[in-house]
Amino acid sequence: MARRNKGTRAARAPEVDFLVIGGGVAGLQAAIELSRHGSVLVLTKGHPLESSSIYAQGGVAVALSEEDDVAIHFADTLKAGHGLCRRESVRALVSEGPERIQELIAWGARFDKVGGKFAFAREAAHSRSRILRARGDATGNEMVRVLMAHARRQKRIQWLGHHFTVDLVVVGGVCRGAVVLDEVEGTRTVLQALAVLLATGGAGQAYARTTNPPNATGDGMAMALRAGAVLEDMELVQFHPTSLYLPTSPPFLLSEAMRGEGGQLRNIKGELFMHRYHPDAALAPRDIAARAIWSEMAATRSRHVFLDVTHLGEAFIKRRFPTIYSTCLRYDIDITEEWIPVCPSAHYMMGGVWTDTTGSTSLPGLLAAGEVACSGVHGANRLASNSLLEGLVFGARSARAAVAFAGRNTGPAGPLPTAGELDGGPLCALDDADKLRSSLRRLMWGKVGLVRTGDSLTSALAQLSRWERTAARPFGARVDLEVKNMVQVARCIAEAALWRTHSVGAHYRADYLDRKRPERSQHSRAKRAGMLTGADQARVWQPASEYRGRSR
């Protein structure tokens, strides 16, 4: 039975020029850049440090070593992306990356060195050693530490933790702000800004097995879709080949750098197998390595394979992978002496809110950066360690675009609707949200996961459509709102996967393995018709070539 939410009274909203939703690498980089031009409010659900960025282990890819240059990094990224990267976006990533990293170092970032020089590591699908790391396997943590410290010193930046963004506010076809829920008080506020920047991260929690933290529920993608923005390539979900597999513990990422340093994959019989799937063996690209592991698990009727680093030596392992070593030890696995049980897990959304090379979306006044965005740099298969660099480069780019937009739109926007007016009715509670969340995650893992077919996707969509009707009401609690967002994002993933009737990169259709399809080099795009929030509003999936030229 629907109940009235007690927290609908108005709260006092801070006056700011720019609203940044999300506090990971992309959000912090954007906030710092924006603070040079106006006042900024950074919104985060939960604690300000609960971002995916802080868990990133492997490192950040950048062409700074003597053996490397941006042209090689450019070529490696395009090759990994299987023809679906946007070249101009990749060029921006690799050419501006070195400057952003040097800036981060100037702010105090401490990347690992050997003999006074940066210790560049190599990971799968990289033709050069270009991975900078910090404290062995805590690169994301170090980058967030430095960015947060620098941002905290900027007097124009304000912070609101434990504030969940419910929806974007669109007036006259322009994004003017957001409806925000105070998770502690239960009050809802409309925040107004000259421009809104999404940096909310990915949607890994849509899957039963994921390396993502619990807050990665696709909020930014769902909000953007409801507001009328275009989503692109939602079917392209990257599955990391190696996450810790234990029946009683959540998946824990085992960095690709472990294979880059010489780690080997063995099946349940102890046999090396990657040489049968790719000439680079254990250093094969992520999509190939993940499917190879899946195939070995099926062939041997096991739930995992093994990652073996025992031959690398105890001292090296403890120094190079201290976080992984200590975490596995808590589960009674000594990786210096034992093989590690691993299997693939959902890891990274390569699709998301469509942006151009500046970070501008199809909705005026709305910018996006980081994993929530589809900037075109990752294509069909993200090159390892490019994501942290993307957060830095496109965090700064999207901020500059937000400033430019605000400069062109300085006229009075008029008062925004109240939260109560935007809710469209009494706030409700979702019956057994935890059960629906769990069922959704199992469905996505089983039918829209690493291996897909038309039958599995059609079956999943039928169930997702039923759930979406259930979740279409206005909810008052964060847990219910997250499930609503997960259902909508999951349906987008399944719809796009059904549309793409061929295999490319991370998208693997077992019923379309080798057929050449005209859409192979095209991008799937979706937009909710009428820019309404009702669950029955149709989405329009179409190749990018048919979309170009229309008004954005």
DSSP string, 342-401: EEEEEEEES-EEE--TTSB-SSTTEEE-GGGEE-SSSTTSPPTTHHHHHHHHHHHHHHHH
- For the ranges 40-54, 149-163, 520-534, the one whose mean pLDDT is highest: 149-163
Q: Is residue 179 part of a domain?
A: yes
Q: Give the burial string for 173-184 (b: 16+ CB within 10 Å, else e).
A: eebbbbbbbebe
Tens of pLDDT along 170-194? 999 999 999 999 999 999 999 999 9
Tens of pLDDT along 223-275? 999 999 999 999 999 999 999 999 878 888 898 889 989 999 999 999 999 99
The C-alpha atoms of residue 413 and residue 239 are separated, in whole angstroms, by 43
Please write down the long-range contacts of 335-339, taking CB distance under 8 Å and 24 or more positions apart: 335/309, 335/310, 336/309, 336/310, 337/310, 338/310, 339/266, 339/306, 339/307, 339/308, 339/310
Average pLDDT over residues 417-438: 89
Q: Is residue 4 part of a domain?
A: no
Please tell me the predicted confidence (pLDDT) of residue 514: 61
Which of 330, 345, 360 is the C-terminal boundary of a domain? Answer: 345
Q: Do 259 and 386 fall within a single domain?
A: no
Q: Is residue 552 part of a domain?
A: no
- The closest of 215, 278, 295, 286 to 254, measured between CA atoms, is 286
Q: Do 296 and 361 fall within a single domain?
A: no
- Which amino acid, 339? W
Please tell me the predicted confidence (pLDDT) of residue 517: 61
Average pLDDT over residues 107-131: 92
- For the ranges 3-17, 242-256, 287-301, the one whose mean pLDDT is highest: 287-301
Instruction: Kindly give, in sequence order, each residue whose CB lies less than 8 Å from that of residue 116, ignoring residues fewer than 6 positions away.
Output: none
**Among 188, 209, 226, 286, which one carries the catalytic annotation?**
286
- The closest of 85, 351, 400 to 221, measured between CA atoms, is 351
- The closest of 70, 119, 57, 71 to 98, measured between CA atoms, is 70
Q: Do 92 and 216 fall within a single domain?
A: yes
Q: Is residue 519 part of a domain?
A: no
Average pLDDT over residues 438-445: 98
State yes or no: is 382 an active-site residue. Answer: no
Residues of the domain holding 312: 244-345
Please tell me the predicted confidence (pLDDT) of residue 4: 35
Q: Do 118 and 261 fall within a single domain?
A: no
Q: Do 373 and 442 fall within a single domain?
A: no
Domain tally for the chain? 3
Q: Do 88 and 117 fall within a single domain?
A: yes
- The closest of 203, 145, 189, 201 to 41, measured between CA atoms, is 189
The C-alpha atoms of residue 375 and residue 398 are separated, in whole angstroms, by 10
Token pair in block for residue 489: 């994002």
Per the listing, tokens 């939960």 go with 46
Contact indicator for 454, 298 with CB cutoff of 8 Å: no
* 519: confidence class by pLDDT, cuts 50, 70, 90: low
Contact indicator for 377, 90 with CB cutoff of 8 Å: yes
Q: Is residue 186 part of a domain?
A: yes
Contact indicator for 22, 199 with CB cutoff of 8 Å: yes
Please tell me the predicted confidence (pLDDT) of residue 298: 94
Q: Do 125 and 139 fall within a single domain?
A: yes
The C-alpha atoms of residue 85 and residue 235 are separated, in whole angstroms, by 15
The domain spanning residue 315 has which CATH number? Answer: 3.90.700.10
* 412: confidence class by pLDDT, cuts 50, 70, 90: low
Report DSSP state, residue 265: E
Q: Is the pLDDT assigned to residue 220 strictly greater than 50?
A: yes
Q: Is residue 40 part of a domain?
A: yes
Q: Do 24 and 152 fall within a single domain?
A: yes
Tens of pLDDT along 14-27? 579 999 999 999 99
Q: Is residue 494 part of a domain?
A: yes
Q: Give the burial string for 21-60 (b: 16+ CB within 10 Å, else e).
A: bbbbbbbbbbbbbbbebbbbbbbbbbebebbbbbbbbbbb
3-state secondary structure at position 12: coil
Please tell me the predicted confidence (pLDDT) of residue 550: 31
The domain spanning residue 201 has which CATH number? Answer: 3.50.50.60
Q: Residue 197 CA to chain centroid, in angstroms?
A: 15
pTM: 0.91
Q: Do 312 and 390 fall within a single domain?
A: no
Q: Do 377 and 275 fall within a single domain?
A: no
Q: Do 25 and 116 fall within a single domain?
A: yes
Q: Is residue 34 part of a domain?
A: yes
β-sheet bridge partners, residue 61 = 131
β-sheet bridge partners, residue 40 = 18, 157
Per the listing, tokens 């999951």 go with 490
Q: Do 163 and 81 fall within a single domain?
A: yes
Report DSSP state, residue 109: -
E strand map for 183-235: 188-192, 195-198, 231-232
